[in-house]
Amino acid sequence: MIKTIIHTADWQYNEASKRLKNACDYAAEQYFKKLDEYSLEYDYCEMLQVIPGDLFDRKEKSSIAEFIWVKDFLDRCCTYSETIITVGNHDYDTKDKDRKKPTLLRLLADGFDIPGLTYYEKSGIYEYNEQFRFFVFLIGNTTGNLTIFKKV
């Protein structure tokens, strides 16, 4: 049973900006120290991390190094607990108004088997388990009624 939800957002990792890269590296180090502390109190299945987007800073120009940093960050997050990510406005090509191109997070979630990682990309209500539903609202990704997505 989940006893604590850990929320973090807006990492906006960017190798081209030394200031942002250094800030993200430092923040990640501090974040994982905190997760080390929490893991002494909670088991894997008692924690849930929620990261609502903007893991990348600039989708259109993200480098392989940035992609690998985000992948490694999520890999490490999932060693502590299941982790849910959603897309943010920095994670997709803003010129793709119809969102036909896959987001970097979609490529990451589909291309790598990261145990414990769940990716919600569309606006809707997601049934995570019998205890939790997540309401995801993404600007520019809503038309009419929200879809209820059942966990498979």
How many domains does the structure of the chain reveal?
1
The answer to whether residue 53 is domain-embedded is yes
Q: What angle do CA 68, 2, 79 make, to 5 degrees?
A: 25
The answer to whether residue 20 is domain-embedded is yes
The answer to whether residue 69 is domain-embedded is yes
pLDDT in tens, 83-131: 999 887 777 766 766 667 778 888 889 999 899 999 988 878 888 888 8
The CATH number for 34's domain is 3.60.21.10
The answer to whether residue 36 is domain-embedded is yes
The answer to whether residue 110 is domain-embedded is yes
Whole-number average pLDDT of the chain: 86
The answer to whether residue 136 is domain-embedded is no
The answer to whether residue 90 is domain-embedded is yes
As a whole number of angstroms, the distance between CA 39 and CA 116 comes to: 16
Rounded to a whole number of angstroms, the distance between the first and last alpha carbons of the chain is: 19
Q: Is the sign of the CA dihedral 111, 20, 78, 139 positive or negative? A: negative
pLDDT in tens, 18-31: 888 899 999 999 99
* pLDDT for position 105: 87
The answer to whether residue 12 is domain-embedded is yes
pLDDT band at 144; cut points 50, 70, 90:
low
* pLDDT for position 101: 74
Domain range for 44: 4-122
* pLDDT for position 20: 85
pLDDT in tens, 38-65: 999 999 999 999 998 888 887 767 888 9
